[in-house]
């Protein structure tokens, strides 16, 4: 006969917020999804995919880890959206309990130096994660790389990881639990994120567009969900409006005979079927909103303003 007490969820003794920070495209969202074992943050090969903070919650034994995925910190402040993204990434840093700084094992850039400057004055413990170690051609380079990066700042720990392969993530969780402050749970034990289903639907559409469009187009794209309703059969009816910066971009997004938009919509719908565990009917439209990314009112109406 099994011991029911051993199956009960342990009361939370440690809890805190853990910021995932770094320059664009170092694997923060991939890491968040890997840690949670579930996709809540979209991932593409293009920089600046993440535009807003995304919360992911995981319970490990008697600890609640509250991860905060942030936009990549970058030097480009040319428009209002870029400024809001940088603000979303940096404004929370003084208030979190732990900072995880992700860098790429293959290269160091001037934007890594920008991140470093934001971290210098923080009082919270900082863990340095050297990501993408699976891509190192010569594994003998890893130890000298760790030694070089160790001199950048005083770190609570330095750890090589691979977010895509899941390497060292169990060890990472152990280190984080040690650093968490003693506190009760901040969220129910069955909650994994605070993002809404509408937000996730918009992000999945944008993810598919980012993965299919030309390099210069995606940064002028936003997605707004105009309809998100369950029908009588238990399926979802979703209408998405895709905003583009330029009239010339509308035809590129739609594609020849509508092929581009259909392909992105089909891929997004398949993901939604799985994410929402029901049959999804998705309709997409494309409209021009000239220079929306540099218009404060547009950014706020689309929910992209950093709070």
Q: Report yes or no on 286 lying in a domain.
A: yes
Q: Report yes or no on 250 lying in a domain.
A: yes
Q: Are residues 64 and 24 in the same domain?
A: yes
Q: Report yes or no on 84 lying in a domain.
A: yes
Q: Are residues 71 and 14 in the same domain?
A: yes
pLDDT digits (tens, 9 = 90+) for 268-282: 999 999 999 999 999
Q: Are residues 290 and 159 in the same domain?
A: no
Phi, psi (degrees; rounded to nearest 5) at 62: -105, 25
Q: Are residues 294 and 212 in the same domain?
A: yes
Per-residue tokens: 83: 């400024």
Low-confidence ranges of the chain (pLDDT < 50): 1-8
Q: Are residues 143 and 286 in the same domain?
A: no
Q: Report yes or no on 11 lying in a domain.
A: yes
| DSSP 8-class letter at 71 | P
The total of other beta-carbon atoms located within 10 Å of residue 98's CB is: 21
Among candidate residues 148, 179, 210, the one where a domain is terminated: 179
Q: How far is CA 13 from the centre of its chain?
A: 27
pLDDT of residue 216: 60
Q: Are residues 223 and 263 in the same domain?
A: yes
Alpha-carbon radius of gyration of the chain:
21
Q: Are residues 160 and 286 in the same domain?
A: no
Q: Are residues 143 and 233 in the same domain?
A: no
Q: Report yes or no on 70 lying in a domain.
A: yes
Helix (H, G, I), strand (E, B) or coil at 126: strand
Helix 197-212 to helix 259-275 angle (10° resolution) is 140
Write the CATH number for 158.
3.40.50.300
Closest CA to 81 of 211, 243, 284, 193: 243
Q: Report yes or no on 188 lying in a domain.
A: no
The domain tally of the chain equals 2
pLDDT of residue 6: 40
Among candidate residues 130, 147, 179, the one where a domain is terminated: 179
Angle at 143 between CA 139 and CA 147, to 5 degrees: 150
Q: Alpha-carbon distance 103 to 27, whole Å? A: 8
Q: Which domain holds residue 245?
A: 197-301
Closest CA to 298 of 219, 245, 227, 225: 245
The three-state DSSP-derived secondary structure of 147-196 is HHHHCCCCCCEEEECECCCCECHHHHHHHHHHHCCECCCCCCCCCCECCC
pLDDT of residue 169: 97
Helix (H, G, I), strand (E, B) or coil at 3: coil
Q: Are residues 165 and 53 in the same domain?
A: yes
With the C-alpha atoms ordered 55, 91, 52, 27, is the resulting torsion angle positive or negative? negative
Q: Are residues 66 and 172 in the same domain?
A: yes
Write the CATH number for 202.
3.30.300.20
Among candidate residues 179, 208, 234, the one where a domain is terminated: 179
Q: Report yes or no on 185 lying in a domain.
A: no
Helix (H, G, I), strand (E, B) or coil at 140: helix
Q: Is residue 33 left, alpha or beta, with left meaning phi > 0 and alpha meaning psi from -120 to 50? A: alpha
Q: Are residues 126 and 157 in the same domain?
A: yes
| DSSP 8-class letter at 115 | H
Q: Report yes or no on 87 lying in a domain.
A: yes
């Amino acid at each position: 006969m099994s011991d029911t007490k051993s199956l009960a969820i342990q009361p939370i003794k440690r809890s805190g917020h853990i910021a995932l920070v770094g320059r664009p495209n170092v694997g923060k969202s991939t890491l968040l999804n890997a840690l949670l074992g579930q996709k809540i943050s979209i991932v593409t090969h293009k920089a600046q995919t993440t535009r807003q903070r995304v919360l992911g919650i995981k319970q490990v034994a008697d600890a609640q880890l509250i991860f905060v995925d942030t936009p990549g910190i970058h030097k480009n402040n040319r428009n209002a959206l870029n400024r809001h993204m940088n603000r979303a990434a940096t404004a929370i840093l003084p208030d979190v309990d732990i900072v995880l700084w992700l860098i790429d094992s293959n290269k160091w850039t001037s934007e890594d130096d920008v991140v470093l400057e934001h971290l210098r004055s923080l009082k919270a413990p900082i863990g340095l994660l050297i990501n993408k170690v699976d891509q190192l051609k010569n594994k003998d380079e890893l130890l000298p790389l760790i030694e070089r990066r160790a001199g950048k700042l005083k770190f609570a720990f330095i750890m090589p990881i691979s977010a895509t392969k899941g390497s060292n993530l169990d060890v990472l969780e152990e280190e984080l639990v040690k650093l968490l402050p003693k506190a009760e749970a901040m969220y129910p034990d069955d909650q994994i994120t605070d993002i809404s289903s509408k937000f996730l639907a918009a992000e999945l559409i944008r993810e598919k567009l980012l993965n299919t469009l030309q390099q210069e187009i995606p940064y002028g794209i936003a997605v707004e969900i105009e309809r998100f309703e369950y029908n009588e059969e238990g399926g979802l009816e979703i209408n998405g409006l895709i905003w583009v910066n330029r009239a010339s971009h509308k035809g590129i997004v739609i594609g020849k005979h509508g092929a581009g938009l259909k392909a992105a919509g089909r891929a997004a719908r398949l993901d939604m079927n799985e994410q929402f565990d029901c049959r999804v009917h998705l309709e997409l439209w494309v409209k021009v909103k000239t220079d929306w990314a540099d218009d404060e009112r547009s950014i706020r109406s689309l929910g992209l303003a950093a709070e």
